[in-house]
Structure 1
Amino acid sequence: MNARQWGHDLALGVRFALTGGREGWTRALLTAVGVGLGVALLLLTTAVPSVLSARHAREDARTDITWMNTTVPARSAGTLLVADLDTEFRGQEIRGRAMQAEGPDAPVPPGLDAVPAAGEMFVSPALQKLLASDAGKLLRERLPDQVTGTIAEEGLVGSKELTFVRGAEGLAAHVDGSRVTRIDHFGAPDSASEGLDPVLLLLVLVVFVVLLMPVAVFIATAVRFGGERRDRRLAALRLVGSDSPMTRRIAAGEALAGSVLGLVFGTVFFLLGRQLAGQAVIYDISVFPSYLNPSPVLALLVAVAVPAAAVLVTLLALRGVVIEPLGVIRTARPARRRLWWRLLLPLAGLALLYPMVGQGRDNGDFNQYLVVGGVVLLLVGVTALLPWIVERFVARLGAGPVAWQLAVRRIQVNSGTAARMVNGVAVAVAGAIALQMLFAGVDNDYTRSTGQDLTRAQMQVSLSDGAPAAVGAAEFTATEGVEKVYGYAEGSISDRRADPENSEQVTVGDCASLREVVRLDSCADGDIFAVYDTSWDSGIKQLAEPGRRLYFDPSYGDSAGARVAWTVPEGIKEAGERVGPTRNTTSGFLFTPGALHGKALASLRTEVYLQLDQTVPDVQERVRNTAAAVDPLADVSVWSSTEQNEKFTAIRTGLFVGAACVLALIGVSLLVTQLEQLRERRKLLSSLVAFGTRRRTLGLSVLWQTAVPIAVGLLLSAVVGLTLGAVLLKMAGTPVAVDWPSLLAMTGVGAAVVLAVTLLSLPPLLKLVRPDGLRTE
């Protein structure tokens, strides 16, 4: 058989698909829609590297304050003072900057034409919309500056990002290189990016495979739309003289036509989705349409792989079918499916993953090819095993109501079609269960305790000034929802002005606040305390000798401290250790505000801890508003018992974003599949109605036809998912544990999608079962 004959037969199949009248076009369009949805998602996936690159480039271009700001440039005509004013509003992160130009050549942030003057504020379009809405009333109190313009796309990383840049004055007094700094250009410093550790890399690989496998399964399912009517057409071809190989190639040509048309549909869907993506926010992630540029190489791979897969799937599907004139063989009892080769796929997958069991994160990166190959084979094993299991299961189902009998008999006659319909859901659920087990298993490795005692405080405010802790206390106390306020001015004191040998912590607060961190027998304003009995060797006794001269905020190396002198008085009281709200113990000297003069207080940093009534609506936003009024440069944080590794969180967020897209594809593709099957059975359903079958009975039969295969598929996916999850946990060197609530949740989501699709297909079903559906041309 030469290539010319292959081309001729495929072209003939394409011609049949495109010139087969209304029936042919309907079949081709259904195939194109199913394939197109999968192609659109594949194109979106190929655009992921472009999205990440574009977001990182935008973020790098506007970088101003980083942990790498080790040196602050001297003031000049080309320098700019920048303050970090990042905040949060009802769970949404808001990036904020205050800027003050120190000369005419000061750098201008991306997205703006000039540095805003004091009292002016530029905002992103999304933030402008929020501020103008009723929902942004509380936020407007925090950002009272006049909005004089919007930030252009060049200064934003996402279309729905909330960010602002406001003008300021007097920032020079607060320059510390971290929250307030001086820069002479925008842009991230050159540095080698830290790579992912082996377990995180394993997570990324498995996430991509798990998200893409259902897409591939749905494309393979879509190219087989119209299978029953196709078989009758192929039998007619045999009747007019076509041999079996030629007939199969013609069938492959029909699938090729649908897949190529699907590429066109997929491109259109992708372009529509590309525009809609600019309006969407998924897990606080938004993008600009310009970010979604598929890699040319990957897009070309999709364009070649999809038609080739359509031809291959069709040829494989017909390999065991004996096509004879008039389709006589099709009416015979089909051969029982064999199990042995279906078991080889998951076993081969386990064999590929087995060499990496126990590797953990200490033995280098996992072999990417083995990981991808092993996971793919295990998930493909679901699609291979499901038809066999469905066939065996439904063969044993007995009698029941009419709707049940109609559904069971339909599945028994063609269990392959029923299995294909739920293959994608089963693969998606199996992968989701495995990933959930892996995420849950390694979660503790990337989550650490913050040490914050949420029973004693729920928010913390760090003031930028050296003002005493009493500053702002009245404002916070008067804030609705604040029950208690503890304020401390903290710093250090030493035996020398510069490069001291001995130094101790200094804490200033009123008596009520000090009692939260140490044990006091008595306290009055003007008292001074020292913690002598500590759990470690402290030099406090030598420093606390009456008459000794000590210095607040000493300098180290080239740094300049305040170095305010203070003479140790008589009558320092002793304080006992106590675990504070941050689960640390406070040592050194403790002062009430009346015991220190202003210069010493000016050298200390102030922390305010707040205990809240969480039942008060927007209590956190009210605290943030108060903090902004007390000190525009205040840093407000919400306490939590734990915090998670940022890269781990980013991977999990990426999984959720991808899962949302795949879930949408699953639902739409299932609906298209269901409608295609109903269309094929239109005459049969109309005949049943004509003979008196109630429409309610037919509706229930459609529900049972979906419910039985999906129940079997979800059971199989749970077994495969648990197996894959256990192997992945063993590979990561983590004890195997099953997160049963998550497993049930994943299974429930899959069942809910199928149920929703079935309910959506009922209106078309009622339309199709009219007696006039028996009309033929």
Structure 2
Amino acid sequence: MSARQWSRDLGMGVRFAFTGGREGWIRMLLTAVGVGLGVALLLLTTAIPNALAVRDQRNQDRLDYTYGPHRAKAANTLVISDTDSTFRGSDVRGRLVEPEGPRAPLAPGLTKYPAPGEMVVSPALKDLLGSADGKLLRERLPYRITGTIAEPGLVGSHELAYYAGAKDLAPRFDGWRTARIDHFGPPKASPVNKADPVLILLVLVVFVVLLMPVAVFIATAVRFGGERRDRRLAALRLVGSDSRMTRRIAAGEALAGSLLGLVFGTVFFLLGRQLAGSVEIVGISVFPSYLDPSPALAALVALAVPAAAVLVTLFALRRVVIEPLGVVRTAKPTRRRLWWRLLLPLGGLACLAPMMGQGRNNGTFNEYLVIGGVLLLLVGVTALLPWVVEAVVARLGSGGLSWQLAVRRLQLSSGSAARLVNGIAVAVAGAIALQMLFAGVQDDYTKYTAQNTDRVQMQVNLSRGLPFLPAAQQFAATKGVRKATSVGSTELGDGRWSSDKGPANTVGLTVGTCATLREMADLPSCRDGDVFAVTGADRDADVAKLARPGRTLHLDASDGAGNGPDVVWTVPGNLKRGRALIGPAGFKESGVLMTPAAVSHRMSATLTGSVYLALDESLPDAHEYVRNTAARIDPLANAMVWSSSERSKQFTSIRTGTSAGAVCVLALIGASLLVSQLEQLRERRKLLSSLVAFGTRRRTLGLSVLWQTAIPITLGLLLASTVGLTLGAVLLKMVGATVGVDWPSMLSMTGAGAAVVLTVTLLSLPPLLRMMRPEGLRTE
């Protein structure tokens, strides 16, 4: 067959699609909308790598390492302090800035630095501070807003960020939160982190799982109007076309719908691109300019979608006998064969099996085998589901009238019913496997802390030298605080901290009231002015060496760069002994304990205060009240909420991105299902009108439509659960994790899939009621 003949027949099909009258236009618009929704999500997916790259680059461009090398004051230096905070679960990026010369580096997104007492803020922060919800945060940021941060200085449209002007920051150098810098951006010699094979596996599986339902929906959308198309094809045979030519013309009609779908998809994508700047999904926001699809990937979508439309149509018609008097599909179809459908999931398992037990210690996973294996398993769902639906509905017995109507309809067109829920089944199967994989490896990316959250819920670290005992009183008077315990701490050594070598032996020094020290050690007696040497933990040997009466020790007063005064202390002769207990920080510690009266003025300037807080967490915004008090006491205070575990940021970001993608896919599933359901109802309009004209109750017809949806979706979810559990178990074996089922996640994903179908069914009831009128039998 020549290419010329193919192009002529396809072109004829395209003309038929555009000149088929009102019915043809409705059919093509339904196809175009279904394809367009899928194309929009594909374009969004092709834009995600660029969006992530831009976000990462924006973040790199504004890096300001406050723990970098010590620099001298110059015309091109800037003193900057990290004042990051949190407000009701959202991160707030804050910086105090003090330019020291006319050539001080300017942060991205700024035209000039704010004066002391002023700040420039991100648009999202400006809106929050101006609203009633931002009242508590406004108390924490007592600066006058004089401008906004431009897009180059932000990683997302909903990011909360500010730069506030300050003065006299240089004396507060600590090598941690405050430093002098001469440029923004990463260090010139940044270490290259080795990629984690398990995280790469997660990313690969995530992309396959999220994109596979999109491909299924596009394949379903190009087959809209199948029953009416068959009657048109019979008419073509009647006027002289052969069967092959007829199939090519049908493929041309699908091609027309897919081409219009590309246009619709581009429009949907551009609308969604603009909308993306105004929404935030699971903590991720972007600017519209970030969503710029790769030209190569966009071209691939533009070529793949029409090609898929032609191939899917030809494949669907491969066993359909098109004759001049009709299409032999209304007769009882031949039973579907099972053997070749099982080959797909078995082939997927064969691809993944060689990588079982590989884990992260035996090299990287073969990405081609991973993608191929997961694809085959998920495609296996779409191949097996029609067979399962056909086999089950053929054995369904008698029941009520609505049940009989639904079952008979399913028996006549089980393939259409299976196509309706194929996307849901694929999405649920992939989601179950992903949830199992996430649950199985999350312990590897979780570090369990020693923090006792029953005893302490928050900790506030103050700047060095700040009086910490009065601070405890202010925190104790804060709304929502039940108890505040404050200590000051530094290190003692047997040599100068500012020397090149530093001390050879060190031990911790902690200062607090007698009541506080009794929480940290078992003391024989205590009154203000006492000093204790505490043993019973890991540093007993250091305590024995250094805490000897008459010995002169040096306090750590350095600024992190080896600079600072040499502050010394002589161990008193009346040194008392004690045994370490588990303190407010959650662990035992050997060291020197000291009451406030034993601390000289020079020594107090070296102490860093920490306040441990027990909260009434039933009070809303208890954490915010604490953060506000901390900001009033010390703008550079670091308020931390205690937790029993900390999770890897990379792992968390992948899981967050997966949740965002799942939301988009579920939205696409719902929209596409609704279009498909409306298309099927439109094709059955005359049948429904006939049944109503013969006296069938609308309630009965409505229930029959519900059964026609409920039976396939139930079978689809059962099959999806089976395949998802199998895929999840294989992936866990691949990473060397213990196989286990995350039942809550599995049930939630299955329930989400069922909820989408139920919602679509309810939304389709109004048009169904309009179609169930005897007037629908009228024809012109």
- Which residue number in structure 1 is paired with residue 514 of structure 2? 511
- Cα deviation 1:642-691 (Å, max 9, x = unaligned): 01011111110110111110010000000000000000000001111111
Deviation of the 1:2 alpha carbon: 0.5
**Matched residue of 2:492: which SS?**
strand
Q: Please tell me whether residue 676 in structure 1 is matched to residue 700 in structure 2.
A: no
Deviation of the 1:537 alpha carbon: 4.5
- Which residue number in structure 2 is paired with residue 346 of structure 1? 345
Of 8-17 and 462-471, the range deviating more from structure 2: 462-471
Using the alignment, how far apart are the partners of 1:370 and 1:680 within structure 2? 42
**Matched residue of 1:281: which SS?**
coil
The answer to whether the Cα contact below 8 Å between 1:486 and 1:512 also exists between their aligned partners in 2 is no
Deviation of the 1:142 alpha carbon: 0.2
- Which residue number in structure 2 is paired with residue 769 of structure 1? 772
Using the alignment, how far apart are the partners of 2:546 and 2:340 within structure 1? 81
The answer to whether the Cα contact below 8 Å between 1:496 and 1:554 also exists between their aligned partners in 2 is no
- Which residue number in structure 2 is paired with residue 613 of structure 1? 616
* Cα distance, 1:199–1:557 mapped onto 2, change above 3 Å: closer
- Which residue number in structure 2 is paired with residue 141 of structure 1? 139
Deviation of the 1:439 alpha carbon: 0.5
Deviation of the 1:541 alpha carbon: 3.1
- Which residue number in structure 2 is paired with residue 434 of structure 1? 433
Q: Please tell me whether residue 77 in structure 1 is matched to residue 50 in structure 2.
A: no
Gaps of 5+ in 2: none
Query: What is the identity percentage for the equivalent residue pairs of Structure 1 and Structure 2?
Result: 67
The answer to whether the Cα contact below 8 Å between 1:244 and 1:323 also exists between their aligned partners in 2 is yes
* Cα distance, 1:554–1:461 mapped onto 2, change above 3 Å: closer
- Which residue number in structure 1 is paired with residue 215 of structure 2? 216
- Cα deviation 1:312-369 (Å, max 9, x = unaligned): 0000000011111221523321111010110011111111111111111111110000
Deviation of the 1:535 alpha carbon: 4.8
Using the alignment, how far apart are the partners of 2:737 and 2:357 within structure 1? 8
- Which residue number in structure 2 is paired with residue 162 of structure 1? 160
Deviation of the 1:385 alpha carbon: 0.2
- Which residue number in structure 2 is paired with residue 370 of structure 1? 369
- Cα deviation 1:25-49 (Å, max 9, x = unaligned): 0000000000000000000000011
* Cα distance, 1:323–1:356 mapped onto 2, change above 3 Å: same
The answer to whether the Cα contact below 8 Å between 1:562 and 1:603 also exists between their aligned partners in 2 is no
* Cα distance, 1:8–1:442 mapped onto 2, change above 3 Å: same
* Cα distance, 1:389–1:84 mapped onto 2, change above 3 Å: same
Q: Select 2:184's aligned residue among 183, 186, 203.
A: 186
Using the alignment, how far apart are the partners of 2:290 and 2:679 within structure 1? 35
The answer to whether the Cα contact below 8 Å between 2:120 and 2:147 also exists between their aligned partners in 1 is yes
- Which residue number in structure 2 is paired with residue 474 of structure 1? 473
Of 115-124 and 569-578, the range deviating more from structure 2: 569-578
- Cα deviation 1:352-403 (Å, max 9, x = unaligned): 1111111111111100000000000000000000000000000111111111
Q: Select 1:500's aligned residue among 498, 503, 506.
A: 503
- Which residue number in structure 1 is paired with residue 389 of structure 2? 390
Q: Select 1:759's aligned residue among 759, 762, 773.
A: 762
- Cα deviation 1:248-299 (Å, max 9, x = unaligned): 1010000000000000000000000000000010011111111111000000
Of 503-512 and 222-231, the range deviating more from structure 2: 503-512
The answer to whether the Cα contact below 8 Å between 1:494 and 1:554 also exists between their aligned partners in 2 is no
TM-score of the superposed pair, with normalisation by structure 1: 0.98
Deviation of the 1:138 alpha carbon: 0.5
- Which residue number in structure 1 is paired with residue 298 of structure 2? 299
Deviation of the 1:72 alpha carbon: 2.6
Deviation of the 1:572 alpha carbon: 1.6
**Matched residue of 1:233: which SS?**
helix
Q: Please tell me whether residue 696 in structure 1 is matched to residue 707 in structure 2.
A: no
Deviation of the 1:195 alpha carbon: 4.0
Amino acid corresponding to residue 114 of structure 2 in structure 1: P
**Matched residue of 2:101: which SS?**
coil
| Residues 589-628 of structure 1: pairs in structure 2 closer than 5 A | 589-628=592-631
Deviation of the 1:226 alpha carbon: 0.3
| Residues 452-471 of structure 1: pairs in structure 2 closer than 5 A | 452-471=451-470
Gaps of 5+ in 1: none
Amino acid corresponding to residue 539 of structure 1 in structure 2: D
| Residues 659-674 of structure 1: pairs in structure 2 closer than 5 A | 659-674=662-677
Deviation of the 1:115 alpha carbon: 1.2
- Which residue number in structure 2 is paired with residue 4 of structure 1? 4
**Matched residue of 2:489: which SS?**
strand
Amino acid corresponding to residue 246 of structure 2 in structure 1: T
- Which residue number in structure 2 is paired with residue 317 of structure 1? 316
The answer to whether the Cα contact below 8 Å between 2:31 and 2:258 also exists between their aligned partners in 1 is yes
The answer to whether the Cα contact below 8 Å between 1:80 and 1:100 also exists between their aligned partners in 2 is yes
Deviation of the 1:776 alpha carbon: 1.3
The answer to whether the Cα contact below 8 Å between 1:468 and 1:508 also exists between their aligned partners in 2 is no
Of 292-301 and 490-499, the range deviating more from structure 2: 490-499
Using the alignment, how far apart are the partners of 1:82 and 1:539 within structure 2? 36
The answer to whether the Cα contact below 8 Å between 2:176 and 2:560 also exists between their aligned partners in 1 is no
Deviation of the 1:742 alpha carbon: 1.3
- Which residue number in structure 1 is paired with residue 57 of structure 2? 57
Using the alignment, how far apart are the partners of 2:370 and 2:27 within structure 1? 38
**Matched residue of 2:541: which SS?**
coil
Paired residues, what number? 775
- Which residue number in structure 2 is paired with residue 654 of structure 1? 657
Q: Please tell me whether residue 254 in structure 1 is matched to residue 257 in structure 2.
A: no
Q: Please tell me whether residue 152 in structure 1 is matched to residue 155 in structure 2.
A: no
Q: Select 1:93's aligned residue among 88, 91, 94.
A: 91
Q: Select 2:590's aligned residue among 559, 581, 587.
A: 587
Amino acid corresponding to residue 261 of structure 2 in structure 1: G
- Cα deviation 1:193-240 (Å, max 9, x = unaligned): 424311110000000000000000000000000011111111111111
**Matched residue of 2:768: which SS?**
helix
- Which residue number in structure 2 is paired with residue 17 of structure 1? 17
* Cα distance, 1:304–1:169 mapped onto 2, change above 3 Å: same
Q: Please tell me whether residue 132 in structure 1 is matched to residue 130 in structure 2.
A: yes
The answer to whether the Cα contact below 8 Å between 1:6 and 1:249 also exists between their aligned partners in 2 is yes
**Matched residue of 1:287: which SS?**
coil
The answer to whether the Cα contact below 8 Å between 1:686 and 1:768 also exists between their aligned partners in 2 is yes
Using the alignment, how far apart are the partners of 1:674 and 1:417 within structure 2? 11
Amino acid corresponding to residue 723 of structure 1 in structure 2: T
Using the alignment, how far apart are the partners of 1:557 and 1:714 within structure 2? 59
Amino acid corresponding to residue 417 of structure 1 in structure 2: S
Deviation of the 1:533 alpha carbon: 4.3
**Matched residue of 2:509: which SS?**
strand
- Which residue number in structure 2 is paired with residue 641 of structure 1? 644
Deviation of the 1:104 alpha carbon: 1.6
Amino acid corresponding to residue 730 of structure 1 in structure 2: K
Amino acid corresponding to residue 667 of structure 1 in structure 2: G
Deviation of the 1:177 alpha carbon: 3.0
Amino acid corresponding to residue 363 of structure 2 in structure 1: G
Deviation of the 1:545 alpha carbon: 2.6
Deviation of the 1:74 alpha carbon: 1.4
- Which residue number in structure 1 is paired with residue 552 of structure 2? 549
* Cα distance, 1:155–1:236 mapped onto 2, change above 3 Å: same
Deviation of the 1:561 alpha carbon: 3.9
After TM superposition, which residue ranges in structure 1, 4 or more long, deviate above 6 angstroms?
554-558
Amino acid corresponding to residue 592 of structure 2 in structure 1: F
Amino acid corresponding to residue 544 of structure 2 in structure 1: K
Of 358-367 and 70-79, the range deviating more from structure 2: 70-79
- Which residue number in structure 2 is paired with residue 172 of structure 1? 170
Deviation of the 1:519 alpha carbon: 1.7
Please report the RMSD computed on the Cα atoms of aligned residues, expressed in angstroms.
Answer: 1.4
Using the alignment, how far apart are the partners of 1:351 and 1:557 within structure 2? 56
* Cα distance, 1:554–1:459 mapped onto 2, change above 3 Å: closer
Using the alignment, how far apart are the partners of 2:439 and 2:103 within structure 1? 52
**Matched residue of 1:464: which SS?**
strand
Using the alignment, how far apart are the partners of 2:622 and 2:577 within structure 1? 38
